[in-house]
Each structure stands twice: as C-alpha cells, then as structure tokens.
Amino acid sequence: MKQLKNILFGVAIEQTFGSLDKQISTVVYNSSKVETNSIFVAIKGDLVDGHDYIDKAFELGATVAIIEDQVNYNHTEITLIRVQDTRIALAVLADNYYGNPSQNLELIGITGTNGKTTVASLCFELFSQMGYASGLLSTVAIKYGNYVLQATHTTPNPLEINKHLSEMVVLGISHCFMEVSSHGIHQKRIYGLNFRAGVFTNLTRDHLDYHKTFADYRDTKKLFFDMLPKSAFALVNGDDKNAVFMLQNTKAKKKSFAIENYADYRAQILEHQFTGMQLKVDNQELWTPMIGNFNASNLLAVYAIASLLDQNTLEVLAELSKLKNVKGRFETIKGPKGTLAIVDYAHTPDALKNVLQTINSVRTKNENLITVVGCGGERDQGKRPKMAAIAARLSDRVVFTSDNPRSEDPDQIIADMEAGVAPEDYKKTLKISDRKEAIKAACMLLSDKDILLIAGKGHETYQEIKGVKTQFDDYQVTEEILLKLS
C-alpha cells in the first residue's frame, strides 16, 4: 500500500473532492482491473470514455478517481480529483507508484518510421555482449534478466512501462533500450520518463490512419525531442531531411550520424554481398552479416549511441561485427538450387523500396526477383498503391496477397494496391489473397538462383482476419514450402 499524497506528487490538480489521506493498493485505467483501494484513472479513448465507468470502478472497490469532466458524487468515502489531462496524470501516477524507476537507469528512446526495432534490439545485444545487464522494450519483445515477453504494442502503456522499468532496477539493469512510437508519444505513454537519450532513425509515410496528415505525424515525433532534458543527448540521422527539424527546441546535446552527408558519426559501405558487407566506421573497418544501406545506417546509429554512452569504440566495433539480423528483418532462407528467400517486415513504401533496392544492388541480374507483398486492413489506405507500384517496378514478378486484412475484404485491399501499378508492370503481377497459397505459388516460380522476398509481416507470428488471430509465421511457412520443393 502507498500513500495517495505521495503518488499524486507532480500531478497538476485543478480540483479535489474528498480526503487525500488514503492508502492506495494499485493504479488502473481499466475498470475490470480495479481492486480494493485502487485509483481509477478515467481516460477518454477513441471508442470508450473511462468517465462512463466511474460508478463501476467504485462498486468494485476503487476509492479514488482521476477525472477530466465534472462529476457529481456525494459519497464522503470517495475521492474525486479533477485534472486537465488524465493521460498525463496516469503517466505521472505510474511513475510515482513504481518509484520513479527511469531515474535509476540509462534509458535510451529510439523513434522513427523504420529502424526502431533494429536499433533498439542491436543496442540490447551489443551492451549485453559487452557485459552490461540490459533491458529491451520493443515491438518484437520485452527482455531483461531471464524475462522474455512477446510484445503487443511498440510502446506499452505508462503502467506497464514503469512496472517493467522498476523490475529492471531491482534486477540491477543498467541500460534499457526502448522503442518510442508516435502513438506512444501522442497518447502521453512516455510522459515523465527520464531519458538519457533520444534517437531519430528516419521519417517516411506511415500511420496516417491515426495521424491523418504527414505534418501531424512528424510533429508528434518531434515532441519526444522537445521533452528531453539538458543532461540527455539527441542523436539524429543526418541523411534524413527531417533531422534538423527534430532538433529544433531540444535542450539535449545535439549529435548526428550519416552515410551520405556530413555528420558527427559517419560510415561507408566498402563491399556488399548477400552474406554481409564490409563497412568503414570512423576510419575503422568491420565485417557484418547484415546488408543494405538501411542496416549500415542502423549499425552506425548503434555505434554512435555506444560512443556517446562512453564505451570504448574499438571494443564496440569488435562486438558490432558479431551482431546478426533482428528476427523478421532481412532474415534469409536458403532454398533448393541456390535460391534465396528473404523475410522482411517492410510494411511502408520507403521500407519496401529500401529492401528491394538493396537486393537489386547485390544480385547479378542473371536471376529473377519475385516479391510477395500485401497491405494491412484498417490502416493507411493511401500507402497501398504506393507499395504495389514499388514492388512491381523493382521486381521481376510480384504476388499481391493478404497481410492482416482485419475486418476488410482482402480482395478489395489488393484492388486498392493494383491501382498503383504502372501499365507496363501489370503483366508482372499475380493476385492470390490466401497468404500461404501466395507464398507457395511464388516458391514454385523460383528457378535456379532466383530470389524471393516475403514482405510485410516479418517477426509477426499471426494473421488477423475478421477479428480472429490465427498462427502464421512467414519464415516458418516459407521454409516448410521450400523444404518440400527441394
């Protein structure tokens, strides 16, 4: 049990009704999770307003409610606390309830459209290899100590974040690497956290179903850097035109990394093969099994982060060469007769273009490149024709299929994609809405030394259709099909 007054420290209170001299068992924003002596925080969501569940929360044992709207309550044993923004209040309450854990960690936040998962995961692996007790909060997984959990959101809610961070502190974790999504920033999930650094990878079209405009999406990302303290550093990708914008108004120390442009940290690709690439980083060479300009940029970001965290750069370079691809990011499968299948999470136009351009820059052109790609339902419809156009232009054959259609008609999603295909590329395309059948058809098209790209789902191990999630792993399905064909 904790004192209510202590948990409220830092909350901007506008009005109180009832006693603040109370013992609190837990903080919740979902009425179904209320326990005796809980604080219930009424959050206004897109579909549900928590203010409608205040009565239920009190019936279940809550003794305090944090609200935005005026609520009439005459029960003397109940405490109502009105604030301007209950999302901010929830973040502050969560931080206080769990003992302000981010102040006892080196918390590194990574944001951007593409590369967040790779940079966060590689940092976690790098620092673990160098002997540090490290933590990871990412799209793929949450990891620290012996704890591994499949993640459900890129950025968890404030209660989950602070719970994990507090457990890391207890375990003696020194560094935590965390993906910071635009949803997480906009919904105040990271409010009040003490970040040692903020990292910007890049910015391209994504999540416009939520943000509506690219400007709003960009401005939301910038808010993360605006909140960084003077004691932090802000590291940005100097090859992205939005890098300078991200640094405007930040109090943090400004640093940059780049492959193409001048920056504080620079890298150059010396050699490229499907087995890896030779890089020059700060005038030192290293070999990595990862390939592609985007991975060179990701590795450079990891190197810069480690350097800014006062690590020995020669040791960092030696350990970087041991790092492998993150699950679902350019994972390769060797097929029969020298064929190669690549599974990648590319689900935005820019990410898909980067992967296809990387493949085309390495291959000899004496083989065919076959791409299987779909687009998710109930998400940004504007990127569907763009992704299809890129896939058709940069591949020899393309199979359009389902991704996670959710409640939408898969055939309509494919039709939306097809609208972007240039007339001269249309003959390259096939339509097979069943994803497994699409992958099977693409595998059967492979001849000696051909290359197959399965794009869009990457690390995901499910497919969501009509509200039902079923087991589906692109890597596993592709590997099984190729094995049967060998």
Instruction: Tell me: do 233 and 277 sit in the same domain.
Output: yes
Q: Is the pLDDT of residue 335 over 70?
A: yes
pLDDT digits (tens, 9 = 90+) for 165-174: 999 999 999 9
Kindly state the average pLDDT of the residues 291-297. 93
Instruction: Tell me: do 162 and 228 sit in the same domain.
Output: yes
Q: What is the CATH classification number for the domain harbouring 260? A: 3.40.1190.10
Q: What is the CATH classification number for the domain harbouring 85? A: 3.40.1390.10
Kindly state the average pLDDT of the residues 447-476. 93
Question: Which range of residues forms the domain containing residue 18?
Answer: 2-97
Q: How many whole angstroms separate alpha carbon 118 and alpha carbon 135?
A: 14
pLDDT given at position 211: 46
Instruction: Tell me: do 125 and 255 sit in the same domain.
Output: yes
Q: How far is CA 278 from CA 125, 221, 281, 356, 425, in A?
A: 20, 32, 10, 20, 34
Instruction: Tell me: do 354 and 226 sit in the same domain.
Output: no
Q: How many domains is the chain partitioned into structurally?
A: 3
Instruction: Tell me: do 242 and 110 sit in the same domain.
Output: yes
pLDDT given at position 325: 87
Kindly state the average pLDDT of the residues 234-250. 96
pLDDT given at position 66: 97
Q: How many whole angstroms separate alpha carbon 62 and alpha carbon 35?
A: 6
pLDDT-wise least confident of 69-78, 225-234, 299-308: 69-78
Q: What is the CATH classification number for the domain harbouring 354? A: 3.90.190.20
Instruction: Tell me: do 316 and 365 sit in the same domain.
Output: no
pLDDT digits (tens, 9 = 90+) for 355-364: 999 999 999 8
Kindly state the average pLDDT of the residues 361-378. 94
Spatial contact of 225 and 234, defined as CB atoms under 8 Å apart: yes
Kindly state the average pLDDT of the residues 111-138. 95
pLDDT-wise least confident of 143-147, 151-155, 452-456: 151-155
What tokens appear for 232 in the block? 């932090």
pLDDT interval class at 208 (50, 70, 90): low
Half-sphere exposure of 416 (CA within 13 A, CB side): 21
- Exposed, middle or buried, 468 (CB in 10 Å: 0-12/13-18/19+)? exposed
Instruction: Tell me: do 269 and 415 sit in the same domain.
Output: no
Listed residues 45, 73, 97: the one ending a domain: 97
Name beta bridge partners: 91: none
pTM: 0.88
Q: Is the pLDDT of residue 484 over 50?
A: yes
pLDDT given at position 210: 56
pLDDT given at position 69: 87
Q: How many whole angstroms separate alpha carbon 399 and alpha carbon 455?
A: 11
Q: Is the pLDDT of residue 26 over 50?
A: yes
Spatial contact of 256 and 265, defined as CB atoms under 8 Å apart: yes
Kindly state the average pLDDT of the residues 376-402. 95
Kindly state the average pLDDT of the residues 111-115. 92
Q: How many whole angstroms separate alpha carbon 382 and alpha carbon 417?
A: 9
Listed residues 260, 288, 320: the one ending a domain: 320
Q: Tell me, yes or no, whether 325 lies in a domain.
A: no
Instruction: Tell me: do 83 and 118 sit in the same domain.
Output: no
Q: Token match 């999406």: residue? A: 217
Q: Is the pLDDT of residue 437 over 50?
A: yes
pLDDT-wise least confident of 40-49, 89-98, 210-219, 341-350: 210-219
Q: Is the pLDDT of residue 153 over 70?
A: no
